[in-house]
Amino acid sequence: MKSVTEQRLLVTGNEAAAIGVKLSNVRFISAYPITPQTTIVEKLAEMVSKGELKSRYVEVESEHSAMAAVYTAALAGSRSYTATSSHGLLYMHEMLHWTAGMRVPLVTSVVNRAIGPPWNVWADQSDSMNQKDTGWLQVYCESNQETLDTIIAGYKIAENRDVMLPLMSMEDAFVLSHTSEPVTVPNQSMVDEFLPEYKPEFVVDVNNPRGYGSYATPEGPFMELKYDMVSSMERAKSVIRDTLREYSDTFGREYSGLTENYMMDDADYAFITSGTLASTAKYVVNKLRKEGKKVGLIRIKFFRPFPQEEIREALKHVNAAGVIDRSVSFSAGGSLYSDVIASIYRKLDVPVSGFVAGIGGRDVRISDFEHMFSLVQDGTEGMQWIGLKEVD
């Protein structure tokens, strides 16, 4: 039964994230400001200051310290949160490995922003794509509603005993972070019921002293612990599906799992992308459908764990696909592209085009998508840069 106390608010992505944190009963928050994340932590500081959120808010001197403070606070027994962006996330990189390796189920918001030089504060997923091998679950949100919901569901997924890995929730800089959309805010008591109090199995206790993160030799359990992390990431897939189903049933959403398929049932061609580019892609899919072109979209919501099964299933009957990366990789194509290719290798005979688009916040226009569609139809191979200007 839907609660009458549910609220409908017009909020930015960053406000939505802060509301999600508040509803999740986070008890310890620590962060360092960076554009365009800042308004998340400002909002949280304000909530704490007004007494709306019963939480410790600790201002630290760097992002490295922010992550160090939240993981130790979580080990000591408090549900913890931080948020960052771009260079701040890169500065945390060491700590990201450490929190995941320590199996601390944090949730962290990342507002996707370009990496300099040159300085650029606009949307670009290169920052979080750089963290894809740190052992964190990664969610790329498409709307402010999803940004809010992902925090609440994210804690439940991360804290699941079968997972116990931290979760990173992304929003595209400014496109979501500073843009207002109507958002349905669930009521607190329903969230409390959905997300129980944080009760870690091992908590710092002087009467039961333990070591957290000691050293291991080549013959020690190092390799086994890394294997266990990878296995847990794999196990997270069913936890994600179950948790999002439960979340959708409880709060009236339609989250289907690790990916979202849009008009894929009868599609001959597919776009594959993540974040807010997926919204433009949906618009273009509608437009092309009206022109009689059977195209669909696979939106990658979870990039970690990587949804290879879903992708294989969705691409089974298509003639060709095009992957759009909003990030830079110096590999054999973009990060998303490489993982898509690896997922279908020797299982599906589908040509896949790769595109780099929208980095540094550059607009990806409807005409750009139409151009990409024509390249996909032609079966163009290799990475294509979309919207590149001619320079002298």
- Which DSSP state fits 187? P
**Judged by CB under 8 A, does residue 44 bind other proteins?**
no
Distance CA 117, CA 121 (A): 11
**Residue 117 binds other proteins (CB under 8 A):** no
Q: Which is nearer to other proteins, 217 or 249 (CB)?
A: 217
- Cα 53–54–58 angle (5° rounding)? 90
Please state the closest distance from residue 207 (CB atom) to other proteins, in A.
8
Nearest-approach distance from CB 282 to other proteins, in angstroms: 41
Q: Considering the rule CB under 8 A, would residue 229 count as an interface residue with other proteins?
A: no
Position 66 contacts other proteins (CB under 8 A):
yes
220 lies in the site for other proteins, by CB under 8 A: yes
> 255 near 287, Cβ under 8 Å?
no
* Sequence-separated (6 or more) residues with CB below 8 Å from residue 204: 75, 76, 77, 210, 212
Cα gap 280→369, rounded to integer Å = 8
50, 117, 118, 214: which one binds other proteins (CB under 8 A): 214
**Cβ–Cβ under 8 Å, residues 243 and 255:** no
**Cα 331–Cα 305–Cα 28 angle in degrees, nearest 5:** 110
76 binds other proteins (CB under 8 A): yes
User: Which among 36, 33, 104, 26 has a CA at the least distance from the CA of 63?
Assistant: 33
Q: Does residue 98 bind other proteins (CB under 8 A)? A: yes
Asked if 65 touches other proteins (CB under 8 A), the answer is yes
DSSP characters over 96-119? HHHHHHTT---EEEEEE----SSP
Q: Is 190:61 a contact under the CB 8 Å cutoff?
A: no
Q: How far is the CB of 327 from other proteins (least distance, A)?
A: 26
Q: Decide: 107 and 154 in contact? Cβ < 8 Å.
A: yes
Preceding amide of 305 cis, omega within 30:
yes
Residue from 74, 277, 323, 350 binding other proteins (CB under 8 A):
74
Instruction: Tell the smallest beta-carbon distance from residue 131 to other proteins (Å).
Output: 16
Site size toward other proteins (CB under 8 A) is 41
Q: Does 196 bind other proteins (CB under 8 A)?
A: no
> Among 93-101, 152-160, 169-177, 302-310, which window interacts with other proteins (CB under 8 A)?
93-101
Contact between 131 and other proteins by CB under 8 A: the answer reads: no
- Contact flag: residue 77 with other proteins (CB under 8 A): yes
Residue 296, H or E segment: strand 295-300
Q: Is 72 in the site for other proteins (CB under 8 A)?
A: yes
Residue 215 makes contact with other proteins by CB under 8 A: yes
Residues 6+ apart with CB under 8 A from 374: none
Q: Which residue, 24 or 243, has its beta carbon nearer to other proteins?
A: 24
Question: In this chain, which of 119, 217, 249, 390 binds other proteins, going by CB under 8 A?
Answer: 217
Element of type H or E holding 57: strand 56-59
Q: Is 87 in the site for other proteins (CB under 8 A)?
A: no
Q: Please, where are the H alpha helices in 51-200?
A: 63-75, 86-91, 93-101, 126-129, 144-158, 188-194
Mask: binding to other proteins, 23-42, rule CB under 8 A, as x and -? ----xx-x------------
Q: Pick the closer one to other proteins by CB: 92 or 270.
A: 92
94 lies in the site for other proteins, by CB under 8 A:
yes
**Residue 209 Cβ, how far from other proteins at the closest point, in Å?**
5
**Shortest Cβ distance from residue 166 to other proteins (Å)?**
14
Under rule CB under 8 A, residue 56 binds other proteins:
yes
Q: How many residues does the chain have?
A: 392
* Residues within the interface to other proteins (CB under 8 A): 27-28, 30, 56, 58-62, 64-66, 68-78, 80, 94-95, 98, 204-206, 209-217, 220-221
